[in-house]
Structure 1
Amino acid sequence: MTSTSADRRMIQIAMSAPYLARDEEQALAQAWKERHDQDARNRIAMAHMRLVVSMAGKFRNFGLPFGDLVQEGYIGLLEAAARFEPERQVRFSTYATWWIRASIQDYVLRNWSIVRGGTSSAQKSLFFNLRRLRARLARGDSHLTSEAVHQEIAAALGVSAADVRRMDARLSGADVSLQAPIGNGGEGEGADRIDFLASDAPLPDEQALESIDGERRRHWLHAALGQLNEREMRIIRARRLAENGATLEELGVILGISKERVRQIENRALQKLKAVLVSKTADHAYA
């Protein structure tokens, strides 16, 4: 059986389900709530399958299988049946509509694109209403610019115009795999789209230059550290070269001197290092 035939069969079953009178609906809902009567819950659900089919039809323009939309709507219908409170004297269809729509909308948001969207209520409203509002504005005034349309929609939905522009761009095109081959018959024929993405990595000559400069700087630092005496070297290693630098007070206890004296020795050592490194840099610049 093809998907079209299966969809048609599903609609026929839904439309042939008998309607429930208000009293019968209340009795079945009471049986489910008080005795967890599964048959009562199923009868309520089947009687409202036409509501699921109708709601699923409103989301067909998102390109997802109609049968899947109906199944997701049925999950929402069962959730509504499980939570329905008959003592509130509200018709089940009124209560179930919200659950059915919410279930289908969640499915659409999860499967329409591999990029997750509609994470807030405002974004969900924008996702599901953008096309409708844009079409209505176009019918009312065909001379409106795209920016004017975006501004109107942003004001109507309480979002920013930038959000409208981004969502409009997303809805205007489907996902494209980076592994998809390019077959335009021109330059790049046979390559994948990912091959044409700009890389943030340094160019080969930049990598080579960085490697040479890095080695040179390490040599200069080693030479500069060689100008320090033993105490200065110990303090610099503990304070500047260790992963978790020691405090002045900790080094003072270890060396048997005050933390102020440790600070003075550290500053003198840093001045020595700076003088050597500046000299090395100047020599390299004039070499």
Structure 2
Amino acid sequence: MGTSLQPTDLMSPGRNLEGYVQAVSAIPVLSAEEERALADRLYHEQDLESARLLVMSHLRFVVHIAKSYSGYGLSQADLIQEGNVGLMKAVKRFNPTVGVRLVSFAVHWIKAEMHEFILRNWRIVKVATTKAQRKMFFNLRSAKKRLAWLTSAEVDAVAEDLGVEPRVVREMEGRLSSQDTPFDHGVDDDDDQAFKAPAYYLEDKRSDPARLLEDAQWDETSSQRLRQAIGNLDERSQNILAQRWLQEEKATLHQLAAQYQVSAERIRQLEKNAMKKVRAVLEA
């Protein structure tokens, strides 16, 4: 079972993926008796050399699984690296007394690490976050045999097979069919394509310096005209507007009526006339 691979090489295939695949394919496959002997030494004696040999002899299996996920557009080397992490976790937890081969036990750990990597890197916007959504993601990817959208019958069939509502299948299909869009246009985009970038139609106008200056000047001008308009009123009208509109605890018509010893209707008329004069100045 000798090999030129070093323990540090197990984590990643590096740049020479083809050479890595050839190297791990040359490692002999363990017989059931050899695997059991190594697993027993690791389980009962914590023998690290046995763990290394178990991992080495199953690297080809990780490569095989990684090839089944080639349709996600992610690096095979990265998938193999993540799968190797899962393999080492499986070897660490493998109990030879259960009576199953390591390859049957390790497949869950290898795929779990690959799935996590795919979900982290396949899209900028995460398509699946909960356990149920993750299961739906990989099952639906496997169920779709063509690029077209699923028909109603196909949606119902997939939903029944996975034990979910048809709307859940439709929702995940929409996520799978979506694409990430860069916020800014690419350097090679021409003028006919550049305007489609979100940076053009999602612009935050509130941060425009010209607009901020214009708004500030408008607010200042409006405040000055409002002070001027109120200043042109008689003292009683100014006080009525102040108590009715400019104080935190606004006075009622009846309170002002008692203060000026007139009817509430008269206070309402004075307020209305004062507001009309102020509005005329502001709109001029």
Q: TM-score, normalised by structure 2?
A: 0.66
SS state of the match for residue 141, structure 2? helix
Alignment correspondent of 1:196:
200
- What's the CA shift string for 1:22-60, capped at 9, x where partnerless? 232222122223332111001111111122111111101
Residue matched to 2:118:
108
Who is 2:30 aligned against? 20
Of 83, 89, 114, 1:73 maps to 83
Structure 1 residues 281 and 164, CA, compared in 2 at 3 Å: closer, same or farther? farther
Structure 1: unaligned runs, 5 residues or longer: 241-265
Q: Which whole-Å CA distance do the structure 1 matches of 2:252 and 2:221 have between them?
A: 23
Aligned equivalents of 1:28, 1:282: Cα separation in 2? 95
Aligned amino acid, residue 181 of structure 1: G
Assess if the C-alpha contact under 8 Å between 1:181 and 1:192 holds in 2. Answer: no
- Is 2:153 the counterpart of 1:153? no
CA contact (8 A) 1:52 1:73 kept: yes
Instruction: Say whether the 8 Å CA contact 1:32–1:38 is kept in structure 2.
Output: yes
* Unaligned residue ranges in structure 2 (runs of 5+): 1-12, 231-235, 257-266
Distance 1:207 1:282 in 2: 30
What is the number of residues matched between the two proteins?
244
Q: In 2, distance between residues paired with 1:90 and 1:205?
A: 71
1:282 CA drift (Å): 4.8
Contact 1:29 1:86 in 2 (8 A): yes
The question of 1:96 aligning with 2:106 is answered yes
SS at match of 2:16: helix
Equivalent position of 1:167 in the other structure: 172
Alignment CA distance shift 1:208-1:114 (3 Å): same
- Paired residues for 1:112-151 under 5 Å: 112-135=122-145, 146-151=151-156
Identity, % of aligned positions: 27
What is the one-letter code of the residue matched to 1:117?
A: V
Write the distance in 1 (CA, Å) between the matches of 2:81 and 2:273: 76
- With 109-118 and 23-32 compared, the bigger mean Cα shift is at 23-32
Paired with 2:126 and 2:239, the residues of 1 have a C-alpha distance of 58
CA contact (8 A) 1:122 1:159 kept: no
Q: SS at the partner of 2:182?
A: coil
- CA gap 1:213/1:96 in 2 versus in 1, 3 angstroms: same
Separation in 2, partners of 1:4, 1:59: 18
d(CA) in 1 for partners of 2:94, 2:274: 81
- 1:119 & 1:282 partners in 2: Cα distance? 59
Checking the alignment, whether the CA contact within 8 Å between 1:56 and 1:70 is kept in structure 2 is yes
1:201 shift after superposition: 4.7
**Post-superposition shift, 1:147?**
4.3
Amino acid at match of 1:194: P
Q: Aligned to 2:41, what secondary structure does the other structure show?
A: helix
Q: CA deviation at 1:120?
A: 1.1
2:57 alignment counterpart: 47
